[in-house]
Amino acid sequence: MAGFHHEPVMLAEVLEFLDPVPGGTYVDCTLGGAGHSAGILEKTGGRCRLVGMDQDVNALEAASRRLAAYGDRVQLVRANFRELARVLERLGIVNVQGLLYDLGVSSPQLDTPARGFAYQHDAPLDMRMDPDGEITAADLVNGLPENELADLIRKYGEERWALRIARHIGWERAKAPILTTGRLAAVVKEAVPARARRTGPHPARRTFQALRIAVNDELDALESSLRQAVDVLAPGGRVVVLSYHSLEDRIVKDLFREFAVHCKCPPGLPVCRCGVVPRLEILTSRPRVPGEDEVARNPRARSAKLRAARKRPVVLNDQEVE
């Protein structure tokens, strides 16, 4: 799939916060078109170790070609990022200096109608990031009870018309299974009241988002992987996350805050007595967003938010230890 390529979002900002240096080990947990990985390798003059993870074999094949010049300094692994710790253990890597997550669906996946992610194309209703995954969007749309489908659309799509949409899907699938993106988009559009369709994005956008998140179990995978990331980071190592909707961003924000909780002891005590030891230092008090020039050049960057954190060294008796 030679066309698996897209412009990396907020590349300059990613490199600023990740701060890759020669000799370090870096993990691109969402390899995609390898644009960010190429940037990391270029900034270090190719003198770092890079592990690229993706569950999409097409992405891995394209990335392998793009990064071929770096030889064995690059290791590409087909895996979901929820397998982060297991992958690093298999590669013999104890800790890393940086991790990057560029969440959501990639441009090549959106632009390939057969993958079934986009409501702009009529294609099989699929939405699997891993083409070998067991559950498709069609399975959920046609198999879930209406109340469960409504809950899914409301929870993952933050869709106010979730119940109406689920009911319309129920009526339509009773006539014939809903097997294509085009038919689902039409059903959702019919379900949303006309006044709500006059402004804003396509009325099916939130429903498609919800189904994609559910098919790929994206939110649970993200939280699991970020918790592993805190463990595998070396002291001083950094984690950078690009998210594209509020559900992802909330998980990142809350988890960073959880691991950045400070000692509750009164000031002046030589040793912490409360047992609360912060593991992260948050580098972005507010999320960074793309500039106007980037959004004009790459409209899909519009909703991006970047958050970053640094692993704090362990301090015992006022001494930093590894």
| Amino acid 200: pLDDT | 73
| Amino acid 122: pLDDT | 87
| Amino acid 269: pLDDT | 64
Fold match between domain 11-102+218-321 and domain 112-216: no
Q: Is the pLDDT of residue 223 over 70?
A: yes
Least confident of 104-113, 142-151, 275-284: 104-113
As given in the structure block, the two tokens for residue 312 are 């704090």
Helix H segments across the chain?
Answer: 11-18, 35-43, 57-66, 84-90, 107-111, 137-143, 146-157, 162-175, 181-191, 194-197, 205-216, 218-232, 246-259, 292-297
CATH architecture of 11-102+218-321: 3-Layer(aba) Sandwich (3.40)
Average pLDDT, the chain: 90
What is the DSSP annotation of 177-200? Answer: ---BHHHHHHHHHHHS-HHHHSSS
pLDDT tens-digit readout, 118-137: 777 789 999 998 888 899 99
The CATH number assigned to the domain with range 112-216 reads 1.10.150.170
Domain ranges of the chain: 11-102+218-321, 112-216
Q: Which residue's structure tokens are 């409504």?
A: 150
As given in the structure block, the two tokens for residue 171 are 């009526």
Q: Is the pLDDT of residue 310 over 60?
A: yes
Nearest to 95 by CA among 262, 259, 238: 238
For residues 317 and 17, the model is more confident at 17
For residues 273 and 223, the model is more confident at 223
The phi and psi torsions of 75 (rounded to 5 degrees) equal: -125, 120
Q: Is the pLDDT of residue 23 over 70?
A: yes
